[in-house]
Structure 1
Amino acid sequence: MSEQQCPCGLGNYSSCCQPLHLGQQKVLSATQLMRSRYSAFALQEIDYIVKTTALQQQQYLDVPAIAEWSKSNQWLKLEIVQTQEKVDKNHALVEFKAHYHDGEKVQEHHEISYFVKFDETWYFLDPTVEQAFTMKQPCLCGSSKKFKQCCAQFL
C-alpha cells in the first residue's frame, strides 16, 4: 500500500498522509489535517478520524457510523476549494469537496470545516456532534478559554 497514490492527491501515500496516520509526523496546518482526514476516510483509518477531532467531541462521535460511511463508499478525489489558515490566532477554515461513489452514483460532499490549534496540535471541530455546552464552560478544544470566547463561533 505504501507505493500507492495518496487518496488526498498529493503524491505517494508513504510520503504524504501515511506518516500522519501512523503518528510519525505532526500535522502542520489545517489544510494538511483536512487532507489527511480525507485519506483516513478513504482508507478506513477510523482511529485517526477520532483522534483528530476536537478533544471534548471525541467521546460523542458515532464511531460505527463513521466506519460504515468510510467503508461503504468509494472515495474518488478531494478538492480543496479555499483555505483560511488564520481565521484567528488558533482557528482555521478549509472549504472542500469530497467526491465519492456510494454504490449507485457519484456524490459530492461539500463542506466548510473549521479547525482549532491547541497545544501545537490541529483538531477538526465537528459541527455534527450533539453535545450540550454552555457559553461559560471550558472550551471543547481543551484550551483554558471559555467556550464562547473560543470555538463557539465556529460550530
Structure 2
Amino acid sequence: MTITEYLAGDAVQIIPDASTYQFGIMMSNVHMAWTRAVCGRIKSDYRYSKDIVYNNFPWPTPTEQQKAKIEQTAQAILDARALYPDSSLADLYDELTMPPELRKAHRDNDRAVMDAYGFTKGTAARTSESACVAELMKLYQQKVSAAQTKESL
C-alpha cells in the first residue's frame, strides 16, 4: 500500500470485520431513523458518532431465519451497487435516478430489518419514522435499565 492508494479525512469511521448482517442493519431505514434522531450535526450535515449513535443503537435480537434474511437482503444491496461500477454513491442514491434494482434491494432490506424488530405489517413503527424512533427509544431504555441493574448487583 502506498500513501496514494488510501486517503481519509478525520471523520472516517470503520467497523473492523463487519458482517453482512451488520451492513444490512446499518443500511436500513430503522438505523437511519435512529441516526436522524440522535446524531449530531455540523450545519445540516449529519455527524455520525460511535459514542452517541452506534454504541447506543438498540440492535434487534433476530431469529436465525431473520438474520439470514437480513444477510441476503444486505448482499442484494451490494450486488445492485456492483451493477454500476462507474457510479459514485451520490449517483446511485440520487432520488430521481436511483437504479430500480437498488431501490428494491433497500426496500427488501428495510422490511427484513423491521421484521427482526417485530415491527410487523400495519404497525405504526413500520409506517412512521417517529413511531419507529419511539420504539427504538423504548428498547434503548430497556438496555440502559438492564445495564444499571447489572451494575448494582
Normalized against structure 2, the TM-score is what? 0.30
Structure with more strand by fraction: 1
Considering Cα pairs closer than 8 Å and 6+ residues apart, tell me whether 1 or 2 has the greater RCO.
2
Structure with more helix by fraction: 2
